[in-house]
Structure 1
Amino acid sequence: MNTQAFLNGRTALITGSVQGIGLAIATAMATAGARVALHGLAAPEQVEAAIEIMRQAGAPDVRFFPGDLRDAGAITGLMTAVSQWTGGQGGPDILINNAGIQKTVSFSEITDDIWTDLITVNLTGAFRTMRLALPQMARRGYGRVINIASVHGLVASTDKGPYVAAKHGLIGLSKVAALEYARAGTRDSGGVTVNCICPGWTETALIEPQILSRAASLGGDRVAGIASLLADKQPTQRLSAPSEIGLLSLWLTSPLAHNITGTAIPIDGGWTAQ
């Protein structure tokens, strides 16, 4: 894909973007000339490292915005701050809801706190950012919402009740938003689209506890732990790299993607084809 600055003049907000998939997506946006709004809960050195990566990738401007997505007021503050940063233009042109948390726990052991935290961060947080961003995107005639769901938004696995519920809900919510904003803008302006990307096993910190758990049962062998984890679900037997999700996200922001909306695109090595 030719990424030559087709996002010049656009602002991309990526939640949870100082590491992993979020950082890879932010980097991809920077390569196309987008102004990048990073977000997360991170130490100063991690923030500075992420900012430098954006500069090296070509972002004309980059800023970090903190905010706990469990806090409705913090989300409002985040969206207002991004809008002010863009000169009061109404917030980001591109919103990527990537921030997420996961906890592996059996159904009988799910507490109210675990349920509330996972639903709030993985689903309600995305709803709140979308609610504020989409009307402004429609007013401008261009907007892209990309929600990083999961293969677990399409199928279920044991011991992941709240996570699966949140990700299924995120895909459903995205379809509704896609329909409601389908006629905003034109082909020339780019339109407003809402899509989900559904990664399978991807090499990030989020799955590290599951890798270590498998490795522990196999004498501490991490490579064997990864192989065991993938053998259950992912036919290719390969982990995805975060950059793969980044490049698909970038393509969805292109004017060429104006008629791709309401989708849930898996990057799962054949997991959901079974």
Structure 2
Amino acid sequence: MSTIQTDLSGQTAIITGSTSGIGAALAEGLAACGANIILNGLGDTADIEALRAQMAATHGVEVRYHPANMLKTDEIADLIGFAGTEFGRLDILVNNAGIQHVAKIEDFPAGKWDAIIAINLSSAFHAIKAAIPVMKAQGRGRILNIASAHGLVASPFKSAYVAAKHGIVGLTKTVALEVAECSITANAICPGYVRTPLVDGQIADTAKARGISEEEVVRDVMLKAQPTKKFVEYDELVGLMLYLASDAGASCNGAAFPVEGGWTAA
């Protein structure tokens, strides 16, 4: 019986949308296992530099930042190329960048729809398209797409987000089939509600859309769907990601893994 450890020393990981929230936690988890990290996302320049420096110092790895705008195809391609320039390889791609807007479909702004589809779905396609040739040349790679429980089931007032996340699950399956013989895997992680800055914004927007209090949104809308009645913790997502990124997860391919306390079990 072999013992597989999550040692990612010498590997390089890109995590989009990693300057805060889930993305930052995922980057921290990969760094803790020895991977060199490329951060990406929005935020105050000083805050991003502080995060980069802290992560590098804490884990003794190289950490870089690339400001690619997920709305711009050429900048996404440059982000993938940056891994080669800085580290000479790309082993792990985590597509995590995402935005949200909550509104009735008849009131849903067309611009918001376009932006959510572009950032939550199309940016993953463009990143994967650029990354696969690199991973094929190396003979190994891991693609991890952060979908959502909303990639498996729907909720009202989130038409663009639900459509994009269902699309991410479908994209993951297609990529997995195409690269299965190249020692590259593609999987989706489908979290339930995690208390992130994005979710905090959803709480306020949902309260407005439904005409209820923010406390009622948390109790009767968000956590009502999760049988555990608890928000998902960052570490729970990190643990699954590390399994899928390691050799232990080599036979997991094209799957969508719910991490939502049983929400989609019903």
Q: TM-score, normalised by structure 1?
A: 0.89
In 2, the alpha carbon distance for the partners of 1:61 and 1:4 equals 21
Q: Counterpart of 2:64 in 1: which secondary structure?
A: strand
Q: Relative to structure 2, which stretch is displaced further, 209-218 or 237-246?
A: 209-218
2:205 matched to 1:205? no
In 2, the alpha carbon distance for the partners of 1:40 and 1:198 equals 20
In 2, the alpha carbon distance for the partners of 1:151 and 1:56 equals 34
Where does residue 55 of structure 2 map in the other structure?
Answer: 54
CA contact (8 A) 2:223 2:231 kept: no
Question: Which structure 1 segments of 5+ residues have no match?
Answer: 185-190
Choose from 176, 179, 189 the match for 1:178: 176
- TM-superposed deviation, 1:112: 2.2
**Identical pairs, percent:** 39
Q: Show structure 1 runs of 4+ deviating over 2 A.
A: 2-5, 209-218, 224-232
Where does residue 128 of structure 1 map in the other structure?
Answer: 126
Choose from 206, 225, 236 the match for 2:228: 236
Where does residue 81 of structure 1 map in the other structure?
Answer: 82
Amino acid at match of 1:198: C
| Offset from partner CA, 1:174-233 (integer Å, 9 cap, x none) | 10000010011xxxxxx2100000001111111102334549944x7x5x6532333431
CA contact (8 A) 1:28 1:250 kept: yes
Q: Counterpart of 2:231 in 1: which secondary structure?
A: coil
Choose from 198, 221, 238 the match for 1:246: 238
- TM-superposed deviation, 1:18: 1.0
Where does residue 272 of structure 1 map in the other structure?
Answer: 264
CA contact (8 A) 2:10 2:36 kept: yes
CA contact (8 A) 2:176 2:254 kept: yes
CA contact (8 A) 2:6 2:243 kept: no
Distance 1:5 1:153, change over 3 A: closer
CA contact (8 A) 1:150 1:200 kept: yes
Where does residue 108 of structure 1 map in the other structure?
Answer: 106
Amino acid at match of 1:14: I
Distance 1:52 1:227, change over 3 A: farther
Q: Counterpart of 2:157 in 1: which secondary structure?
A: coil
- TM-superposed deviation, 1:79: 1.6
CA contact (8 A) 2:26 2:238 kept: yes
2:97 matched to 1:96? no
In 1, the alpha carbon distance for the partners of 2:49 and 2:5 equals 25
Amino acid at match of 1:73: D
Amino acid at match of 1:70: L
Q: TM-score, normalised by structure 2?
A: 0.92
Where does residue 145 of structure 1 map in the other structure?
Answer: 143
CA-atom RMSD in angstroms: 2.0
Question: Which structure 2 segments of 5+ residues have no match?
Answer: none
Q: Relative to structure 2, which stretch is displaced further, 103-112 or 124-133?
A: 103-112
Where does residue 25 of structure 2 map in the other structure?
Answer: 24
In 2, the alpha carbon distance for the partners of 1:52 and 1:4 equals 26
In 2, the alpha carbon distance for the partners of 1:242 and 1:193 equals 23
- TM-superposed deviation, 1:42: 1.6
Where does residue 156 of structure 1 map in the other structure?
Answer: 154
